Amino acid sequence: MAEALLEMQAVALGYGTEPVLRGVDLSIERGQLVVICGTSGCGKSTLLKGAIGLLAPLEGHIRLLGEELVGLDEERLNRVRARVGLLFQGGALLNSLTVAENVALPLEQHTRLSPEVSRTLVRMKLAQVGLEGAWHKLPAELSGGMKKRVALARAMVLDPELLLCDEPSAGLDPVTAAGLDRLLLDLRDTMHITLVVVTHELQSIETIADRVVMVADGHLAFDGSLDEARRCPLPVVRDFFERRAARPEQAGRSLLERLSAAEVERR
């Protein structure tokens, strides 16, 4: 049986006392590339925040790399997070630091490596993302795609067991986004890393996904292979993959009602 790096059981996530997501059951196994998708504002990033303990669950249990996050003290939580890479949606580079200094930040925070060893590791990670010659540049001198690659190198510098990417293609042109998709696939294949990619970009989903988890109506509406997602009769899933707006007859209907309607239609 494959090892689960992330497990959620009956989880509710939200802000204050109001849940955005309810009844989340999810298991991410080692070696997978899982895409969490859905329309804008459906709760994808909320799910990601819960996965790394940035958002405490209102209900349920979350285990990350074998550690139960609920009730975990800050020191142990930070140790667990050091084993997880996070690519932020906007890259989140510090404008006053060079590319190399940005990539080195996790090494400074979580290790006691010498400056020479740190520099070597930084150059290696920049080489992996094709930016070994940009180590001395400031973020303002980089294109949007280059910034995302620097942020990816920073997320990878501690050789994480799990890499979480929040909308990696957001704001990129199609050619640059396709290059970033290929880079993520290369990392999976060469480094055997487990990736969770949050995106609503259909082209990226169809390029990289081993498994698709779709968020809709405050729940996980679908969890399966890409081929199964394409063939799913549930209207909210079918509309997403066929690039169609929600049909008028679906407006205001609950997920359970849509599931029932899809089952009737399938028969």
pTM score of the predicted model = 0.84
Q: Among the residues of 52-143, which ranges form H helices?
A: 74-81, 99-110, 115-128
Q: What is the mean pLDDT of residues 162-181?
A: 89
- pLDDT more than 90, % of the chain: 57
∠ at Cα 176 (147, 146), nearest 5°? 15
Q: Please report the pLDDT score of residue 187 as a whole number.
A: 85
**Alpha carbons 107 and 87: distance in angstroms, whole number:** 16
Helices then strands (H, E): number in the chain?
10, 10
Domain 4-83+197-266 matching CATH 3.90.78.10: the answer reads no
The confidence band for 247, taking pLDDT boundaries of 50, 70 and 90, is low
Q: What is the mean pLDDT of residues 160-180?
A: 89
Q: What is the mean pLDDT of residues 187-203?
A: 89
β-pair partners for 197: 35, 165
Q: Considering only residues 113 and 261, tell me which one the structure prediction assigns the higher pLDDT.
A: 113
Q: Please report the pLDDT score of residue 92 as a whole number.
A: 86
The confidence band for 72, taking pLDDT boundaries of 50, 70 and 90, is confident
Q: Please report the pLDDT score of residue 224 as a whole number.
A: 95
Q: Please report the pLDDT score of residue 265 as a whole number.
A: 46
Q: What is the mean pLDDT of residues 236-261?
A: 62
- The neighbour count for residue 6, using CB atoms within 10 Å, is 22
Q: Please report the pLDDT score of residue 244 as a whole number.
A: 63
Q: Please report the pLDDT score of residue 245 as a whole number.
A: 57
Q: Please report the pLDDT score of residue 246 as a whole number.
A: 54
Q: What is the mean pLDDT of residues 251-255?
A: 48
Above 90 in pLDDT, residue 136?
yes
Q: What tens digit of pLDDT does each residue of 9-68 get?
A: 999 999 888 899 999 999 999 989 999 998 888 889 899 999 999 899 999 999 999 999
Above 60 in pLDDT, residue 214?
yes
- Pairing outcome for strands 67-68 and 59-64: antiparallel
Least confident among 24-28, 89-93, 159-163, 260-264: 260-264
